[in-house]
Structure 1
Amino acid sequence: MPDDNLTSTDVPLSILDLAQVGRDETVRESLAHSTRLARFADTAGYRRIWYAEHHNMSAIASAAPAVLIAHMAAHTEHIRLGAGGVMLPNHSPLTIAEQYGTLAELYPGRIDLGLGRAPGGDQATFAALRRTHQAAEQFPCDVLELQAYLRDESRVAGVRATPGAGTNVDLYILGSSLFGAQLAAALGLPYAFASHFAPQALTEAVALYRSEFRPAPLPDGGFSEPHVIAGVTAIAIDDVDFARRQLHEAKRDRIKHLVAHHRKLTDEEAEQLFDSPVGRQVDEMMRYAATGTPDEVRRKLREFADHADADELIVGSFAPDRTVWFQTFVNLAPDKG
């Protein structure tokens, strides 16, 4: 009989959907899979789904998260939807305030806005976006400017976000280093750590965030409290051997991606790199990947939440097989059973 203590991770679960485009898929097919997942998650007890801004990546179809969020919100009723995140150096704060303010007016109480300072692409993409490296240096000021637009307290004389003003869209700071932790703590905002691909500073960053957190006033008259979301990847199916093979294939695909700017690799060539520095880099990136049966993965997620001192986990799956990818979220659903 299953262990009843393994039916929950004891912390809220959310979903990170990278809108991955499978090897034999079109972008349209990929987005159809994402829509199916959103519809399922809407009734399965997941707290939120986030979509990340990535550019110039043929295997990821989430370059325009605001558009994805609008589509998914129209196909769901309850679940929160958001960007995990918008790479703010790529945009003006006013533009993002207007985009997410529009979403908040259309779907009140359901929109999140996670903010990161990375460009979300390579140097050529950064140039194509008409941005400069100095834009990232303005990130803290841009966050404050964006927050002010959403609160109808514009910092720019004569400029008001319409839509946006007064929507008070929930903001989250994303990060994989101590910088994001310090900024989130100073502003009294929730903090989401990218431990699903950059785990090195996880425990140090979370500890710093909690120790330096300064409550900020909220629109309802209260004050904010620290809230940590930690990213983790999972493959949860009953066939353990197949789950392990899926993890191996996911690592192989990651190796191929990391060297793609030099040359394209065959599967056989990528296999030969598992023991190389790039292979070890991928192992480290996926340090917290939880693979196994649903009960095993739920136990691993609970242990990871304790290790990360997280209030919430956001789960992604890099399983190449679409059936396994979807079944993972079914098997981990908070309302399952």
Structure 2
Amino acid sequence: MLDNAHTAVGQSASEAFEEVISLARLADRRGFRRFWMSEHHAMPGASTSSPQLMVARLISETERIRLGAGGVMLPNHAPLLIAEQFGMLNALAPGRIDLGVGRAPGTDPATAAALRRHHEANDQFPQQVLELLGFLGDDFPDGHGYRDVHAVPGPWQADQNRVPRPETSPELWILGSSQYSAVLAGQLGRPYAFALQFGDADVDSAMRLYREHFRPSHVLSEPYSLISVPVVADNDPVEARRQAATGAMAMLRMFQRKGYSLLPPDEVKAYPATLQERQILDTYTELFRNGTAADVASALDQLHARTKVDEVMLVVMGHSRRSQYQTVELLANHYGLPSH
């Protein structure tokens, strides 16, 4: 499950975070495998500017589910800083921490500049990933400028203190919605997560390229992939579509550089859309798989069969958190997940 900490109109960030915590508890109780948070900046409708801070809170709120960032936008940060932050999280919850990294800014150009993100940031993403891996594994080669720079907590500290190395480190994923990220993930021999919530992305070509370029690594002997899919399930398919439309309106407003906060379904329905706006709204409403649990599950099953991914991640959508909780419960029941 992926949560963007969507904040509806009239809702505070504190309220949104409490609802994220409740959703993570539900996902943990119902047997979901992962719960990820995204990184966004200066977007009132998405309150998680630092997913690692939310992960730190969720460690004590959950028992078994893997927690992580989906993802950290690496060009916004120094790789050493991310290695140390996720090293701390892994020390707090060994074997439960995921680190998904992407190259997008997670915001608009002006805010990206305020983050000190320069125009060549995307081009340097592969080098940043290699640096991050070097710090996480403490395995820079002799002669490397960072050979004697160690992320703490990390493997180096364990050796110095003569204590056993942790059995696991944060599980690093390459995130993306393009062929570029697919090739990079394959070349590095890392698991690959494809974001299908960003419009008409070519997931089939991306998965093919990932598998074609895959090189076995010490963490993976064969390709391992995931797709994230926005969903809304309800016993009433009309209500499911109404809730999905609120997310579609948020995307339209983001394209128009307007406030991104989720509007109520009735307000979305009453919006006097132009022909072009209506096309965008209808496209994204369909992209956010919606309907009864059986309808949504059928769409997910078809997508899984087509892409042959190892995991499907639900991006919970809808103006109402009640609707999001219901989506989780209905799909968990459909797939026979634990109810305790």
Question: RMSD of aligned C-alpha atoms?
Answer: 2.3
1:38 corresponds to which residue? 24
**Residue 144 of structure 2 corresponds to residue 158 of structure 1:** no
Within the candidate set 241, 249, 254, 2:251 is matched to 254
Structure 1 268/205 Cα, relative in aligned 2: closer, same or farther at 3 Å?
Answer: closer
Aligned partner of 2:213 in structure 1 is 212
The one-letter amino acid of 2:251's match is R
Paired position in structure 2 for 1:5: none
Which SS does the other structure have where 1:50 is aligned?
strand
Q: Deviations over 1:193-242 (max 9, x none)?
A: 11122342111111111122111123xxxx43211111111111101111
Whether the 8 Å CA contact 1:86–1:116 is kept in 2: the answer is yes
Task: Look up the SS of the partner of 1:19 in the other structure.
Answer: coil
Could you tell me which residue of structure 1 aligns to residue 271 of structure 2? 271
Task: Give the TM-score of the pair, scaled to structure 2.
Answer: 0.87
Counterpart in the other structure of 1:3: none
Query: Can you list the C-alpha shifts for 1:37-85, whole angstroms capped at 9, x where unaligned?
Result: 1111112111101111100000111110110000011111100001100
2:115 matches 1:124: no
TM-score (norm 1): 0.88
Higher mean displacement: 179-188 or 199-208: 199-208
**Which residue is 1:169 aligned to?**
170
* Cα distance in 2, alignment partners of residues 120 and 240 from structure 1: 32
Residue equivalent to 1:233: 230
What is the identity, as a one-letter code, of the residue corresponding to 1:195? L
Write the letter of the residue equivalent to 1:224. Answer: S
> Structure 1: which amino acid aligns with 2:32?
Y
**CA 1:303–1:262 in 2, change beyond 3 Å: closer, same or farther?**
closer
- Alignment of 1:27 onto 2:13: yes
Alignment partner of 1:173: what SS?
strand
Structure 2: how far apart are the matches of 1:196 and 1:121?
Answer: 16
Percent identity for Structure 1 against Structure 2: 40
The within-5 A match list for 1:1-337 is: 15-154=1-140, 155=144, 156-165=146-155, 168-218=169-219, 223-261=220-258, 267=267, 271-273=271-273, 275-276=275-276, 278-285=277-284, 287-333=286-332, 334=335, 335=337
* Aligned residue identity for 2:233: A
Which deviations, in whole Å up to 9, do the C-alpha atoms of 1:279-299 show, x marking residues without a partner?
434544555422111122112
Separation in 2 of the partners of 1:211 and 1:308?
A: 14
Count residues with an aligned counterpart.
Answer: 318
**2:232·2:240 contact (CA, 8 Å) conserved in 1?**
yes
Contact 1:199–1:287, Cα closer than 8 Å, also in 2: no
The secondary structure found in structure 2 opposite 1:162 is: coil
Per-residue CA deviations over 1:227-265 (Å, capped at 9, x if unaligned) read 111111111110111112222233223222221359999
**CA offsets, 1:278-331, max 9 Å, x none?**
543454455542211112211211111112222111111221122111110111
SS in 2 for 1:229: strand
Q: Which amino acid aligns with 1:34?
A: V
Query: How far is 1:168 from its partner?
Result: 2.9
Aligned CA distance change for structure 1 residues 67 and 251 (closer, same or farther; 3 Å): same
SS in 2 for 1:260: coil
| Residue 108 (structure 1) shift | 0.2
Tell me the amino acid that sits aligned with residue 208 of structure 1. Answer: L
Does structure 1 retain, via aligned residues, the 8 Å contact 2:44–2:260? Answer: no
Task: Give, as a single letter, the amino acid of the residue that structure 2 aligns with 1:83.
Answer: A
How far the C-alpha of 1:142 sits from its partner, in A, is: 0.8
- Which is further off, 103-112 or 144-153? 144-153
Distance in structure 1 (CA, Å) of the matches to 2:289 and 2:235: 13
Counterpart Cα distance in 1 of 2:281 and 2:194: 18
2:165 matched to which residue of 1?
none
- Displacement of 1:336 in angstroms is 5.1
Task: Give, in whole Å, the separation in 2 of the partners of 1:34 and 1:146.
Answer: 28
- The alpha carbon displacement at 1:118 in A equals 0.7
Give the letter aligned to residue 313 of structure 1: V
5+ residue gaps, structure 2, are: 157-167
- Distance in 2 (CA, whole Å) between partners of 1:207 and 1:29 is 41
The farther-off stretch of 314-323 and 54-63 is 314-323
> Judging changes above 3 Å, is the alpha-carbon distance between structure 1 residues 182 and 272 closer, same or farther for their aligned structure 2 residues?
same
In the alignment, the residues of structure 2 paired with residue 104 and residue 270 of structure 1 have an alpha-carbon distance, to the nearest angstrom, of 47
SS of the residue 1:326 aligns to: helix
Partner SS, residue 22 of structure 1: coil
